[in-house]
Amino acid sequence: MSTRTSLTREDWIHAAQHVLVTSGVDAVRVDTLAKELKITRGSFYYHFKSRGELLEGILGNWRSRATEDVILQLRTAHTSPLQQLQRLLELPSHGQTAREAAAIELGIRAWARRDDKARQAIDEVDRYRLNYIEGLLIQADVTQSEACDRAYLIYAYQISLSLLHSEDTAQDRKDRSARMARILIPELLPA
């Protein structure tokens, strides 16, 4: 096996995410990843102290990319709360990137059913996402109690999309997203 000096911590995390999606968390092993990356195990230990640290890296990377980065992009787009909600609802229809993100999300949610650290990460992300959606609804003059309920509906809808395998075209997904936005966020309708 060769030693590639360009291999990064991110490379190991992405490889581990791929194994998580295809084979589950039990298959995320140093030997398996080293073979997949065609590199020695020593490279792994250059970036991580243990498999546990790699697993924490998977969770941190997912939290950052699938939640914090997405919300930051929406917030800094200089759009209204309603426009941010509409863009949020459109995210699952963004092609291959959305399908890959959904697969990682499902892999982590499956892992969280039997692992406390993964469960804690899921719970934190769910709260963060729900609070963001609820906050946008409140900014759009929706009452607190209704905002809480609608945030839950919007979030449940988005999570359900990752569970459903659909042969819909990109246009079908975009059209459904627009219809769901009108149902879940009627404030988007012209007055």
pLDDT in tens, 117-173: 999 999 999 999 999 999 999 999 999 999 999 999 999 999 988 787 678 887 888
> How far is the C-alpha of 151 from the C-alpha of 136, rounded, in Å?
9
> How far is the C-alpha of 93 from the C-alpha of 95, rounded, in Å?
6
Token pair recorded at residue 125: 């992300």
Instruction: Tell if the pTM clears 0.85, that is, is over it.
Output: yes
> How far is the C-alpha of 175 from the C-alpha of 40, rounded, in Å?
48
What the chain holds in terms of domains, given with CATH numbers, is 1-48 (1.10.10.60), 55-185 (1.10.357.10)
Q: Model confidence at 2, in pLDDT bands (50, 70, 90)?
A: very low
Residue 77: helix, strand or coil by DSSP?
A: coil
Q: Model confidence at 191, in pLDDT bands (50, 70, 90)?
A: low
φ, ψ dihedrals at 132, nearest 5°: -65, -50
> What's the CA angle centered on 70, arms 50 and 147, to 5 degrees?
115
For 8, 97, 156, 172, the CA distances from 168, given in Å and listed in that order, are: 36, 16, 20, 6
Instruction: Give strand ranges (E) for the chain.
Output: none
**Burial readout 33-46 (b: 16 or more C-beta within 10 A, e: otherwise):** bbeebebeeebbee
* Upper half-sphere CA count for residue 191 (Cβ side, 13 Å): 0
In the chain, pLDDT over 70 holds for what percent of residues?
A: 96
> How far is the C-alpha of 127 from the C-alpha of 69, rounded, in Å?
16
* DSSP state for residue 66 in the 8-state scheme: I
Question: Per-residue pLDDT tens for 81-122?
Answer: 999 999 998 888 777 888 899 999 999 999 999 999 999 999
